[in-house]
Chain A
Amino acid sequence: MKSLSEQREKGFLYDWELERVPERMTRPWWDIAFVQIGLFLSGFMLMTGGLFAGCGWPWWAVFLWLLIGNLVILALYILIGHIGVKERLPLAFIAEKVFGPKGAKAFNFAVLLGALAWGALGIHMLALAITDLVGISIYITAWIAALFVWLSSVAGYKTISLLSKISIPWFLVFLFVAMIYYGFQLNWNAWGLKTAYGGVFPTFWDGVTFVVGLNIMAAFLQPNSSRYARSTKDFAKASALSVMYGMVIMHFLAATLAAYALSPEEPFADPFKIGLRTMGIVGAVMVWLLIWTTADNDFWHISLSMVQLYPKIRRWIYDTILVVASVIIIYSGILYRYIDFATFLAILWPAVPGILIAHYYLLPRLGVDPNVMISRRISVNWIAFGAWLLGAISAYLTKTAGKPFPELVALVIALIVYTLGMLAYRSRR
């Protein structure tokens, strides 16, 4: 009997969601870099520029926050990305080896619940921008925004990469040029300001903690794009470009735009205001594209998770359902309560990279087969869930105590608990 992936016609909309990406469909390293940049360069980058410009810390402190925090992120991206290069499978199915086939469904459902809120928020922001510009009701513009996001996420990597290849080089060159231009306009006095829109970072390490928190959530999603890389070296090159240029240099220089565009009394570094006041209508289009290239990534990742929940339905159909569901969420008026819930859920994610690193790097060296869940037909790996829970609790406690690096604490605790638990399990069997 043919497997589900063999039965399917592999047309344009197929994203290799059920099987390994073949060698002939791998992509160049810069293509993967652009997809990564699309995920984490959003309108929030301009907002972060405002937070950094007006927080009262000098330029060198801000630069060091970005450099130190992002070196941690880069290391995690490469470690987790290597798993995707090796397995060539989406995260949703890699999770089966860690959490067990049924356990992975619970994991993927949590990813779906958490990321859908951000995808819906992206569509909402895009819709509000059109409404502000042309005055059409949000009930209509939500569908227009959803259509754009659907178009670039419907074929998975193919369409996401296509949009990224047109828009990301533009961000990296034109936004960079605009940042340098406004740096000169301000005589480079864009940092060390004390403003209402600035962030609050009482200590140096609070700044580094903020930077680590910005993108650690994306670390465990890396296999979804790294499965298209030919080698780990290619993926490392892609991550180095995207993190060092996109996250360090662009976020650092974004302060010049915010410092020029905003008055010190403004309470909020609104990305659309920054875009409009520095680059005119093209700047507003740029912010729109920044949000679009993040929202389509959100829907791509969650549609891959949904395939593992019920593999008989194609990924692009899930993508369509999810985009429609997000408009319904916007219509129903519960979006911001849902965002609060997703923010609460965010405490869950930092532990996951720790479990993945333990499973693929530590356990094989300690004599535990990474395929043990599948080979022994164990449907739920309770050790992984226990480590996940303890990691999440430690992140929560570290955060509420106001200590630095709650995300890294969660990661390390989950890594240790999972490794010890699996070793105890191995010796018992």
Chain B
Amino acid sequence: MGRRARTLKIIRGIGVALMVIGFLVGLGIFTTEPLSPAFLRYFAIGTGIFMLGSLLYMGYEVFVPEFWRGEWAPGPGHEYPPDP
């Protein structure tokens, strides 16, 4: 595995962790009343963390220049770009 692939794997790992944290924060709504300030806080902060996690875990192609040149896209058998 090339250096770039290893870096992207770390980025994806951080993404998964953020998705889990965001989800757990979102679950905080179950301890609150509907639309109370605490409800909105849990929902909004959880959303922010979760969406950032989705971007890092699933949309990691944004960190690869070849994607922006239309030369590579993540897929089965080509999850990571080769090192230049």
* A166 engages B55 (CB within 8 Å): yes
Provide the bound-state CA to CA distance between A322 and B51, in Å. 30
In the complex, what's the smallest C-beta–C-beta distance from A286 to chain B, in angstroms? 8
Instruction: Assess whether A282 is in contact with B75, with CB atoms less than 8 Å apart.
Output: no
Q: Is the interface of B mostly helix, strand, loop or mixed?
A: helix
Residues in A whose Cβ lies below 8 Å from that of B5 = none
Query: Is B76's CB under 8 angstroms from A10's CB?
Result: no
* CB 8 Å contact bits of B27-54 with A (1 = contact, 0 = none): 1011000110001100110110011001
| Count of residues in A whose CB is under 8 Å from the partner chain | 39
B13 within 8 A of A: no
B35 touching A280 by the CB < 8 A rule?
Answer: yes
Interface assignment of B8: CB less than 8 Å from any CB of chain A: no
Q: A173 CA to B26 CA in the complex, in Å?
A: 9
Asked if A341 lies at the interface with its beta carbon under 8 angstroms from chain B, I say: no
Q: Which single residue of chain B is at the shortest CB-CB distance from A155?
A: B70
Selected contact of A24 from candidates B27, B67, B69, B72, CB within 8 Å? B72
Range, interface on chain B: 20 to 34
Other-chain contact of A174, B47, B62, B68 (Cβ < 8 Å): B47
The total number of A-B Cβ pairs within 8 Å is 96
Determine whether the beta carbon of A177 is less than 8 Å from that of B27: yes
Given contacts A14-B70, A170-B54, A280-B40, contact A24 B78 (CB under 8 A): yes
Bound-state CA distance A131–B35 (Å) is 23
Whether A177 lies near B29 (C-beta < 8 A) is yes
Whether B69 contacts A279 by the Cβ 8 Å rule is no
Q: Which of A25-33, A193-201, A354-362 contacts B (4 or more CB under 8 A)?
A: A25-33
Rounded to whole Å, the gap between the CB of B23 and the closest CB of chain A is: 6
Answer whether A169 and B70 are a contact pair too, CB < 8 Å, given A177-B29, A181-B29.
no
Select from chain A the residue with minimum beta-carbon distance to B78: A24
> In the assembly, what is the distance between CA of A61 and CA of B4, in Å?
52
Q: Given contacts A27-B73, A158-B73, A166-B54, is CB(A174)–CB(B43) below 8 Å?
A: yes
Residues from 146 to 204 in A contacting B, C-beta threshold 8 Å: 158, 162, 165-167, 169-170, 173-174, 177-178, 181-182, 184-185
Whether B75 pairs with A25 at a CB distance below 8 angstroms is: yes
- Tell me which residues across on chain A come within 8 A of B69, comparing CB atoms: 11-12
Given contacts A12-B68, A14-B70, A24-B78, contact A165 B58 (CB under 8 A): yes
Q: In the complex, what distance in Å separates the CA atom of A314 from the CA atom of B50?
A: 36
Q: A31-B58, A178-B29, A281-B44 are in contact. List 17 more A-B contacts (CB 8 A).
A: A12-B69, A12-B70, A23-B77, A24-B78, A25-B75, A27-B74, A27-B75, A30-B58, A34-B58, A158-B67, A166-B58, A167-B54, A174-B26, A177-B27, A181-B29, A185-B34, A279-B43
Point out residues on B near A: beta carbons under 8 Å: 19, 23, 26-27, 29-30, 34-35, 39-40, 43-44, 46-47, 50-51, 54-55, 58-59, 61-62, 67-70, 72-78
Q: Lowest 6 A-B CB distances belong to which pairs?
A: A165-B58, A12-B70, A26-B75, A165-B59, A280-B40, A169-B54
